[in-house]
């Protein structure tokens, strides 16, 4: 019985080592291209891994995908299992084009190192195609788009310009997000990356972050912003609705005069600086740990009330609402000259 078990073990070991491969340096150099006829209402599902993505709109009713992949692989030792080379899987259904990058993977006994020096998805497409993008470390660059965008990325940066889709949704981790001239609804959830929005016109804007900074300038809409340790900076903003929450980050808001402001701002340890624009009509209520940390620089305050922790009142009819709450930070509210 013992002898039979030893024979089985020996046979298993021989089979195992037969699947091993001793390799040195090698280079992967591949290019792929495929085109698909599409129509209004279709979508693109792209899984791009660590590759960089550049989406370019054109007037043809065709999605043309070019993929370039070049990498050096150093392997000193024994490869476990079969070699898996880089590949791209293309597929199309009635309404969706699927593009999936199959990146090399290898387990080895010894030293394994892979250096990628080019990994790019260059995609020409009509701008009416809805986008569903998911990757790891690759960057995404999209311009002049007129359909909805969903993008999930780990450490890669996302840059959007001239976007006029119905809704744009981005999930990220450590990569930065930069958006210029977007119209429509926007939702962003990011960990440590910074978020920069410029010249955007949004019905709703939801940004949720952790340690990264949120910067929004020359934009309008209804804003719902949340951050843990990152700062929130808003410059030249037309805000119909404004909801900002931070833990330790500072908040700086420079508002242009809005017809009716509805704003609620809350932080734990950060400072809050508010510029309400010229001639605002607003009722304000500010609570802080210490009354000396509240500075209100507004003229003609009506129903001005003060106590140990609260300052409240209204100016110019008090049509809008501004509520501010902080624990240890300072609060400054002023009106533009």
Q: What is the pLDDT of residues 40-53, one digit of tens each?
A: 999 999 999 999 99
Structure token pair of residue 241: 């609705």
DSSP 26-77: EEEEEEEEEEEE--TT-EEEEEEET-EEEEEE-SSSEEEEEEEEEEEEEEEE
Residue 84 in 3-state DSSP? Answer: coil
The strand pair at 232-246 and 214-217 is best described as parallel
Q: What is the pLDDT of residue 258?
A: 63
Residue 7 has pLDDT above 60, yes or no: no
Task: Give the angle subtended at the CA of 232 by the CAs of 230 and 233, to the nearest 5°.
Answer: 135
The strand pair at 149-152 and 167-171 is best described as parallel
Confidence of residue 71 (pLDDT cuts 50, 70, 90): confident
Residue 101 has pLDDT above 90, yes or no: yes
Residue 294 has pLDDT above 70, yes or no: yes
Where in the chain are the domains? 17-148
pTM of the predicted protein model:
0.85
Q: Determine contact, residues 191/174, Cβ cutoff 8 Å.
A: yes
156-202 confidence digits (pLDDT tens):
999 999 999 789 999 998 999 999 999 999 999 999 899 999 999 99
Structure token pair of residue 206: 């939801």
Residue 336 in 3-state DSSP? Answer: coil
Confidence of residue 74 (pLDDT cuts 50, 70, 90): low
As a whole number of angstroms, the distance between CA 210 and CA 127 comes to 32
As a whole number of angstroms, the distance between CA 71 and CA 59 comes to 34
More confident residue, 184 or 108: 184
More confident residue, 232 or 165: 232
Q: Determine contact, residues 109/39, Cβ cutoff 8 Å.
A: no
Structure token pair of residue 87: 């590949």
Q: Which of these, 126, 167, 120, 122, lies nearest to 144 by C-alpha position?
A: 126
The strand pair at 149-152 and 62-80 is best described as unpaired
């Amino acid at each position: 019985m013992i002898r039979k078990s030893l024979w089985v073990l020996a046979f298993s070991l021989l089979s195992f080592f037969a699947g091993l491969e001793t390799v040195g340096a090698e280079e992967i150099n591949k290019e792929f291209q495929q085109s698909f006829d599409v129509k209004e209402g279709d979508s693109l599902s792209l899984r791009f891994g660590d590759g960089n993505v550049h989406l370019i709109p054109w007037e043809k009713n065709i999605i043309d995908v070019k993929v370039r992949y070049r990498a050096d692989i150093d392997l000193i030792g024994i490869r476990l299992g079969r070699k898996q080379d880089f590949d791209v899987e293309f597929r199309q259904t009635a309404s969706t084009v699927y593009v999936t990058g199959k990146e090399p993977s290898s387990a080895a006994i010894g030293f394994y190192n892979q250096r990628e020096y080019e990994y790019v998805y260059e995609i020409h497409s009509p701008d009416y195609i809805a986008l569903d993008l998911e990757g790891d470390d690759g960057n995404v660059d999209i311009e002049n788009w007129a359909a909805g965008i969903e993008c999930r990325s780990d450490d890669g940066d996302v840059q959007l310009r001239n976007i006029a889709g119905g809704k744009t949704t981005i999930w990220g981790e450590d990569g930065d997000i930069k958006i210029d001239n977007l119209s429509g609804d926007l939702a962003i959830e990011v960990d440590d990356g910074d978020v920069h929005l410029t010249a955007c016109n949004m019905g709703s804007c939801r940004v949720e972050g952790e340690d990264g900074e949120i910067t929004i300038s020359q934009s309008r809409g209804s804003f719902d912003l949340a951050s843990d340790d990152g700062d929130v900076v808003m410059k030249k903003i037309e805000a119909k609705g404004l909801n900002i929450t931070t833990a330790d980050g500072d908040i700086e808001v420079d508002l242009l005069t809005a017809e009716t402001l509805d704003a609620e701002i809350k932080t734990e340890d950060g400072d809050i600086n508010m510029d309400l624009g010229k001639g605002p009509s607003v009722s304000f209520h500010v609570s802080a740990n210490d009354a000396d940390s509240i500075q209100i620089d507004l003229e003609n305050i009506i129903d001005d009330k003060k106590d140990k922790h609260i300052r409240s009142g209204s100016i110019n009819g008090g049509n809008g609402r501004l509520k501010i709450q902080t624990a240890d930070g300072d609060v400054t509210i002023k009106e533009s000259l």
